[in-house]
Amino acid sequence: MNPAWARCEETEKSEEMDKNKPSKSEIGRRGFMCLLGKMSATAAVCSSVAAVALESVPTAAKPKVAEPQYPATGPVPGYDWTKHRWAFGVDTTRCIGCLRCVEACKVENNVPFNPNDYRTWVERYVYLEGEDKPHIDSQSDPKNIAAAGTLTNYRFSDRYRDAKVEKSFFVAKLCNHCENPPCVQVCPVGATYKTPDGVVLIDKNYCIGCRYCVQACPYGARYFNDETNTADKCTWCYHRITKGLKPACVEVCPVQARIFGDLNDPSSTINEFIRSHRVRVLKPWTGNGPHVFYNEIDSEVS
Amino acid sequence: MDTWFHTAPYVVSAYSGYVYPNETVLPWGVLIVIYPYITGLVAGAFIVSSLYHTFRIESFKPVARLALLSAFAFLCFAPTPLLSHLGHRERAFEAIWTAHWTSAFAAFGYVASFYALLLVLDIWFAFRADIVAMAQTTKGAAGRLYRILTLGSYDVSERALGYDRKWAGVLAALGIPAAIGLHGYVGFVFGSVKSREWWSSDLMPVIFLLSAVVSGVAALVVIYVVSSKLRRTAIDENCMTGLARVMWVSLIGTMAVEVLEYMEMVYRRVEGFDMIKQLVAGPMWVSLATQALCSLVPFVILTVLLVRRVRGRALVGWMSFSAVLMMVAVLAMRWNVVIGGQELSKTLTGILIYAPSLWGREGVIWAATLFVGSFVWLWALVRLLPPWAPIPTSKKGIINARADFGETGIDPARRHEWELREGG
C-alpha cells in the first residue's frame, strides 16, 4: 500500500543493527530516486497522452485519413456513403422569404415549436435610404412572431411598408456541415461526428448534453433540445438523402432558392449552381470549411 | 410574448440588434459560472499549502494543513455544477471511459482525478500522525474509520515522521504543476472557443490561473479567520502577513493581465468592437464595475497593510474585508467571462441579456447550494481531521495518548514541542 513506508521499515532494521542514526543524505538520496522514478513515469504517461492527442487532431481534420475506417456500406442498407460528398447552395436572388422551408423542417424533424430552436431559419436584410447598415431580422423576431400570431407558422411582418427601402434580400441559414467542424472537435465524448459523405451528425443516444458544441458553432446552427436533453441541429435530412430524396426544406421551396446535391456528381444541381454563380461561404476565416454556398450576399451576412 | 424570450431577450442596439434565433437561450448559465470559480479556489488554497510543505515557508504553517483540506473540499465539489448542468448526467462518465481527445472538456476527468489522488495522498502524509493518534484514542465507528485510515501504519517514530514530511513535500511540489495545469486548462476551455469573440484569447488561461490564486488565497483567509473566531484561538499575525503578500502579488498579476486584455481589445479595435462597447456599457457594466472595484479596493488596502506593517486586530480586520472583496471580484470575473461571452451575439451585431432563474437546476439557489456545500463538506473534513490539533507522541514512538493525556489525547503543554518537530 505504501512502498515508501515499507522501505522505511526495512532500513530501520538494518540501521538498528549498527546503532547508527540514519544519515540525512541517505534518505535524501532514496527520496530523490523515488521522486526521479515517479517523475519519469509521469513524463512517459504525459508524452504518450500528448502523442495520442497530436495524432488525433489531424486525423479528425482530414477526411482522407478518416475515410478508410468506414465500410462501403453505411448504416443505411443499400446506401454507399463513401460514394457521395453532399453540399448545399442558397440562391438568395430567388428566395421570397415565404418560410415554408422553416415550417417543413420543424415538422419533418420534430423540432420543438418554440422561437428558440431551429434547424434552419431565414434572415431578412433591409437597407433603408440614408443608412449604411442593414436592419436584420429572422422569423424568430418578436414582431414577426406577433405578425404570424402562432408558433407553428411563420411570416415576416410588413414593418417596412412605409419605409424607403434601398435594397433588401432574404438569406436562408442552416448547419454548414463543415470540413473541419469545431463542434465535432469540442465534443468530449465523440457523440457528434462527420460521416464519409460530409454530413455532421449527432448520436442522441450518446450525447451527454454539455452544450460545448452549441458554444463552438460560429453560425449558431446548434441548439439544445429540451425534449431529448441533447444537442440538436440540421442533418440535411439524412434519413431522406440516404434514400435518394431531397432535404425537406429543399423539397418544399417554391422558387428553388435551396439547392442540394452531390459534389461527386459533375451534373448535379449543386455543381451546376457553384459553376454558374460566384459563391462564397460564411465566416471563411474560421478555417471550418463550410459546405453551404451562397451567391449574391453582402459582407454584412455572417 | 415576453414569456417566449424570458431567458435572453433581444436588446435593440444602435443598428440591427440581430442575434441568431438559436442564441436566445444561453447554453451555459450560472452553474458554469460557479464551476471555474470553485475549481479556482482549489488552486489557490493548494498553492498556500505547497508554500509550507514544499518551500518550507514557516509563516504559512498555521494554515498549511487547513489549506490542504480546503483544496480537497473544493475539488470534491468542483465537478458538481458541471454534472448538474449536463442534459444526460447518467452518461457523464463516458467523457472518461470514451474520451474524445480533441475536446478540451474530455481532459477534465483525468486532470481532476489526478489532482484528487495527489491531494488525498498529500493529506494522508500530512495527517498520518494525527490519524494514528486518533485511531488509538477514539472508540466506536469513528475509531474504526481512523484505524482504516491508518492503512495499518502505526509507526510515528521521528524518522517515520520525517518520511511523512518528505512525501508531503514531494506531493505538494507535484501539485503545483497540477494546480497550474488544472486552472490553465479551465481557461483553455473558454480561450480556445474561436466562435466567441469575448472568449477567444491566448491570455485566458493566464487570467484564469492568476485569478484562481487570488480567490483561493482569499477563501483561505476567510476560512482561517472564521475558524479561529469560532474556536476562540489567536490568529497568527505572521501567517496573515504572509497571506497578504501572496494575495498582493497574485492580485497585481491578475489586474495587469486583465488590463492588458481589455487594452488590446480596445487598441486593436477587434471585430465587433462597437458591439463590445455596448455590451460593456449595457448588460455587463454592473458586474464589470464590481470586478474592478472589488479588485482595486483590496489592492489599496493590502498595499497599505504591507507598507505600514500593520499588525494586530487592524491587520485581521482589513485582511478579512479585502479577502471577501476579492472573492466577490473573482466571482464577478467568472460571470463576466462566462455570461459576458454569451451575451455578445455570434453575429457581432446584437446583444442578449441573461437573467438567471432563482429556482430549478440552472437556478441561482441550486448554484449557491453547491457552493455552500463545499464549505459544509470542509467543515465535515475538519471535524474528521482537525488541522490544528497538536500531535501527542510518546518517547517510544508509538502514541498512547489516552493513557498519557486522558480522554482528549492532547497535551496542550506539548504544543510547543510539536511545533518544533513539525518544523523539521
pLDDT by residue (tens digit) across B74-103? 999 999 999 999 999 999 999 999 999 999
Burial class (CB in 10 A: 0-12, 13-18, 19+), A224: buried
Q: Do B15 and A133 touch (CB under 8 A)?
A: yes
Restricting to A residues 42-81, those with a Cβ less than 8 Å away from any Cβ of B are 42, 52-53, 56-57, 60
Other CB atoms within a 10 A radius of the CB of residue B154 amount to 17
Nearest residue on chain A to B1, judged by CA atoms?
Answer: A142
Chain B CB contacts of A222 below 8 Å: 22
B396 lies within 8 A of chain A by CB: no
B91 in contact with chain A, both atoms CB, cutoff 8 A? yes
Q: Is residue A135 part of a domain?
A: no
State whether residue B203 is helix, strand or coil. Answer: coil
The number of CA neighbours under 13 Å toward the Cβ of A261 is 18
The pLDDT score that the predictor gives to residue A64 is 46
Chain B: nearest CA to A221, how far in angstroms?
7
CATH number at residue A193: 3.30.70.20
Q: Please report the pLDDT score of residue A142 as a whole number.
A: 85
| A248-277 residues touching B, CB cutoff 8 A | none
ipTM: 0.87
Contacts of B105 in chain A (CB under 8 A): 186, 188, 210, 212
B99 touches chain A (CB under 8 A): yes
Tens digit of pLDDT for each residue in B22-56?
998 889 999 999 999 999 999 889 999 999 989 98
* Cell numbers at A273, concatenated: 449552381
Residue after which a domain boundary falls, among A38, A61, A84:
A61
Tell me how far CA of residue A220 lies from CA of A116, A251, B21, B248, B343, in angstroms: 11, 24, 8, 41, 13
The reported pLDDT for the residue numbered B407 is 44
Give B131's contacts in chain A (Cβ within 8 Å). Answer: none
Q: Tens-digit pLDDT profile for chain A (302 aa)?
A: 344 434 434 433 333 334 443 444 444 455 555 455 555 555 555 444 444 444 444 443 444 444 456 666 667 888 899 999 999 999 999 999 999 999 999 999 999 998 889 999 999 999 999 998 899 999 998 889 889 998 889 999 999 999 999 999 999 999 999 999 999 999 999 999 999 999 999 999 999 999 999 999 999 999 999 999 999 999 999 999 999 999 999 999 999 999 999 999 999 999 999 999 999 999 999 999 999 999 999 999 98
Q: Measure the CA–CA gap between B332 and B322, rounded to whole angstroms.
A: 15
In a domain, A7, yes or no: no
Report pLDDT for A115: 87
**Per the domain annotation, does A192 fall within a domain?**
yes
What is residue A143's predicted lDDT score, i.e. its pLDDT? 87
Please indicate whether, in this complex, the C-beta atoms of A211 and B27 are within 8 angstroms of each other: yes
With CB atoms and an 8 Å threshold, state whether B10 touches A142: yes
Q: Is A194 helix (H, G, I), strand (E, B) or coil?
A: strand
Q: What is the pLDDT of residue A37?
A: 53
Q: Is the pLDDT of residue B393 over 60?
A: no
pLDDT number for residue A103:
96
B354 has a pLDDT exceeding 60 = yes
Contact: A138, B194; criterion CB under 8 Å: no
Tell me how far apart the alpha carbons of residues B269 and B258 are, in angstroms, rounded to a whole number. 16
Q: Considering Cα of B196, then B198, then B200, then B205, what sign does the dihedral take? A: negative
For residues B277-303, average pLDDT: 94
Task: Return the residue matching grid coordinates 519519469.
Answer: A40
Candidate from A114-123, B15-24, B148-157 with smallest mean pLDDT: B15-24
Residue B2 pLDDT greater than 70, yes or no? no
Identify the pLDDT of residue B60: 93
The pLDDT, as a whole number, for residue B259 is 94
Q: Which residue of A has its CA nearest to B165?
A: A31
Which residues of A, range 144-183, sit inside 8 Å of B by Cβ?
145-146, 173, 182
Q: Is residue A221 part of a domain?
A: yes
Closest alpha carbon within chain A to B7: A116
Query: Is pLDDT of B323 > 50?
Result: yes
Contacts with A58 from chain B: Cβ below 8 Å: none
Look at A200-204, B8-12, B138-142, B194-198 and tell me which has the smallest mean pLDDT: B8-12
Distances (CA, A) of B388 to A223, B65, B391: 51, 8, 9
Residue A37 inside a domain? The answer is yes
**CA dist., res. B345 & res. B272, Å (int):** 10
Nearest 5°: phi and psi at B412? -60, -30
By the 10 Å C-beta count (0-12 exposed, 13-18 middle, 19+ buried), A151 is classed as middle
Q: Helices in A62-191 by DSSP H: which ranges?
A: 63-66, 100-108, 142-148, 182-186
- Does residue A191 lie within any of the structural domains? yes
- Cα B401 to Cα B152, B184, B407, distances in angstroms: 18, 45, 8
CA-to-CA dists, residue A138 to A62, A272, B17, angstroms: 34, 29, 11
Instruction: Identify all chain B residues contacting A12, using CB atoms and an 8 Å cutoff.
Output: 157, 159
Instruction: Strands of chain A (E only): list them.
Output: 86-91, 120-128, 135-138, 165-174, 192-194, 200-202, 223-225, 230-232, 258-262, 279-280, 292-295
What separation, in Å, do the N-terminal and C-terminal C-alpha atoms of chain B show? 70
CB contact under 8 A, B195 and A216: yes
In a domain, A195, yes or no: yes
Query: Residue range B115-144: average pLDDT?
Result: 92
Residue of chain B with shortest Cα separation from A112? B22
pLDDT value of position A58: 41
DSSP B352: E
Residues B194, A215: C-beta atoms closer than 8 Å: no
Interchain proximity B28–A185, CB inside 8 Å? no
d(CA A79, CA B409): 77
Of the three residues A46, A61, A76, the one that is the final residue of a domain is A61
Among residues A232, A250, A276, the one where a domain terminates is: A232
Give the mean pLDDT of B265-286.
88
Q: All 3 cell numbers of residue A162? A: 412605409
Percent over 70 (pLDDT), chain B = 88
What is the span of the domain harbouring residue A224?
Answer: 179-232
pLDDT in tens, B203-248: 999 999 999 999 999 999 999 999 999 999 999 999 999 999 999 9
Nearest C-alpha neighbor of B238 from the set B411, B51, B35, B97: B51
Question: What pLDDT is recorded for position B227?
Answer: 95
C-alpha span between A186 and A209 (Å, rounded): 13
Instruction: List the alpha helices (DSSP H) in B232-284.
Output: 237-268, 273-281
Least CB–CB distance from B86: residue in A5, A210, A214: A210
Q: A252 in a domain, yes or no?
A: no
pLDDT for B9 beyond 50: no
How many CB contacts within 8 angstroms connect chain A with chain B? 181
pLDDT of the residue at B68 = 95
Using one digit for the tens of pLDDT, what is the confidence trace for A220-264?
999 999 999 999 999 999 999 999 999 999 999 999 999 999 999
Query: What DSSP designation does B359 have?
Result: S
Q: Any idea which of A177-181, B311-315, B399-403 has the lowest mean pLDDT?
A: B399-403
What's the number of domains chain A is made of? Answer: 2
